Structure 1
């Protein structure tokens, strides 16, 4: 049973929404804050994904595969099929990128299924009670807007890189000022330069914003629901309903976890495919 939070459920939720932060320049404000929990958990999950797939790739055989190898092959084939159906070009770099995004985001989302108080318990166990009282640790990196923005900005640069590779630097720059509105004659083309450039900049910047906010909003909302349900477990009267609600929400949330990872992957593929098209 969850221990009774001091100050009630509101303080309990506020406590669990704080990050473990290191500020390298306290005099410069919060800009230099580094959220250690998001970085550490993201790095560990990314390393586990790479190690998992590398071990099975290293031991892969052409004969009857083991259950583990078959499962990995199903994931890879699933992702490659999505890429093939959306991106009609050389998939040798796009499929590994899509696979990495899908699995990494899925792993980070799946941390939401762990107990809400697990992070605090780990700090309490390994750092001591006094330190734990003043230390925060959030287990879901994608419920941190900094993580989702970082992922989305990385995707943005990859998309721009594909656009430049497909069209060349001059062709990519020319398209920024000549599409989507095309015109004949030098005067009309000159007039449409600013509208075209403005619309293309807005379209380009809206892609990482929509990617980041969609993933963050869904995972942050799911984390809040788990915290609210945890508040039911502070007494014996509401403990059993809390367990039932928590189990039901966890089962439903598995769909959200997988769906958000899939959407992030698919939008990345679509953005890359669109960037390589000539207008």
Structure 2
């Protein structure tokens, strides 16, 4: 339900797409995105920690069953896609999947609920979906990009790193400059596409909820918002899964030592 106010639909949409910010220029921080991403990350750690401490080999509870199902799903996905042996990939994939899933799920909260509560507390703006903020998604993709570089050096060394970006796709030193340009474009495209794909899908989903609330009377909004929310559940899960899978694939490619 939209907040009753004299604002036009355009002003309403602009208000809901404005983040709570501090700082200026490059050093502007979206406080709401940082707050919700950190809170959800801590919630993920606490839930899994508590389940791990109270885990039983007997009849498990519902929460333990859910955690075990997610754990087995991620574990199977990692084993199918990552050919090497690394103790970090499994926990990393689980963290990426659950953390992004929780952040995406915030999009199912009615668009006016939390902003209305914070307005009563004197906070003028609030966006509750961290993954609808390009700064958050690109920060996560930048982390994956750094891991790609680190894993390439770790498994292939400096010589292997140079060969990877100068002898592919044309396996001759005469084509090294061309190969380097092509491989750099491919390398930089990975984090950019990874971050923008997640941002674009979640921003579009958030915008549709806002448009429904801004343009329709409160008593008729559920005709569109409910079907879209049900469909959006698929997008929420799928985007978390895609980000996790691409992270595994990129790190698997970085750690592969076979000669092509």
Match of 1:250 among 206, 229, 241: 229
1:147, 1:33 → 2: CA distance? 13
Give TM-score, length-normalised by structure 1. 0.88
Question: Which residue number in structure 1 is paired with residue 184 of structure 2?
Answer: 201
Match status 1:269 vs 2:227: no
Question: Which residue number in structure 1 is paired with residue 105 of structure 2?
Answer: 110
- Unaligned 5+ runs, structure 1: 184-188
Give TM-score, length-normalised by structure 2. 0.94
- Indicate if the aligned counterparts of 1:79 and 1:95 stay in contact, CA closer than 8 A: yes
* Secondary structure at the counterpart of residue 262 of structure 1: helix
Question: Which residue number in structure 2 is paired with residue 146 of structure 1?
Answer: 135
Deviation per CA, 1:132-172: give whole Å up to 9, x if none: 4xx21100000000001000000111122122111122211
After the TM superposition, which parts of structure 1 deviate over 6 Å for at least 4 consecutive aligned residues?
none
1:145, 1:179 → 2: CA distance? 32
1:5 is displaced (CA, Å) by: 4.1
Match of 1:218 among 186, 197, 201: 201
* Secondary structure at the counterpart of residue 208 of structure 1: helix
1:19, 1:87 → 2: CA distance? 38
2:87, 2:204 → 1: CA distance? 36
1:232 is displaced (CA, Å) by: 4.2
1:61 is displaced (CA, Å) by: 2.1
2:7, 2:118 → 1: CA distance? 21
- Unaligned 5+ runs, structure 2: none
Question: Which residue number in structure 2 is paired with residue 42 of structure 1?
Answer: 37
2:82, 2:52 → 1: CA distance? 25
1:202, 1:84 → 2: CA distance? 29
Deviation per CA, 1:93-151: give whole Å up to 9, x if none: 111100000000001111100111123222223x2xxx34xx21100000000001000
Match of 2:28 among 13, 30, 33: 33
